[in-house]
C-alpha cells in the first residue's frame, strides 16, 4: 500500500482527468467496429480508473459513473 499527499487542486485535476478517460471509454463501447477482445481490455481499464476515481470523487459523482456490463 502506498500513501499520497496531494492538495485539493490536485485532487480536482485527477478527478477531471479520470472522468474524461472514463467518458471516452464509455463512448467507445458504443462503436460496433471495435473487436470484443479490445472491449474486454477497455472494460478492465475502466474498472481500474473507476477504482481510482472512487478515492478522489464524492459519492454522488461516483454514482454517475457506475457502469454495468451488458451480457450477451
Mean pLDDT, the chain, as a whole number?
91
Please say if the pLDDT value at position 72 is more than 70.
no
Please say if the pLDDT value at position 4 is more than 90.
no
Q: Is residue 48 part of a domain?
A: yes
The total of structural domains in the chain comes to 1
Kind and range of the H or E element at 69? none
Please say if the pLDDT value at position 3 is more than 70.
yes
Q: Is residue 38 part of a domain?
A: yes
CA distance 55 to 8: 13
pLDDT tens by residue, 22-54 = 999 999 998 999 999 999 999 999 999 999 999
Please say if the pLDDT value at position 69 is more than 70.
no
Which residues constitute the domain of residue 25? 8-64
- Report how far Cα 8 is from the mean position of its chain's Cα atoms: 20
CA distance 25 to 55: 19
User: What pLDDT was estimated at residue 2?
Assistant: 84
Q: Is residue 3 part of a domain?
A: no
Amino acid at each position: 500500500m502506498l500513501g499520497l499527499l496531494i492538495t485539493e487542486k490536485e485532487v480536482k485535476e485527477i478527478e477531471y482527468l479520470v472522468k474524461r478517460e472514463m467518458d471516452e471509454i464509455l463512448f467507445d463501447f458504443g462503436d460496433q467496429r471495435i473487436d470484443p477482445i479490445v472491449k474486454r481490455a477497455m472494460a478492465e481499464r475502466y474498472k481500474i480508473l473507476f477504482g481510482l476515481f472512487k478515492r478522489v470523487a464524492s459519492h454522488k459523482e461516483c454514482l454517475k459513473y457506475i457502469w454495468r456490463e451488458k451480457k450477451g
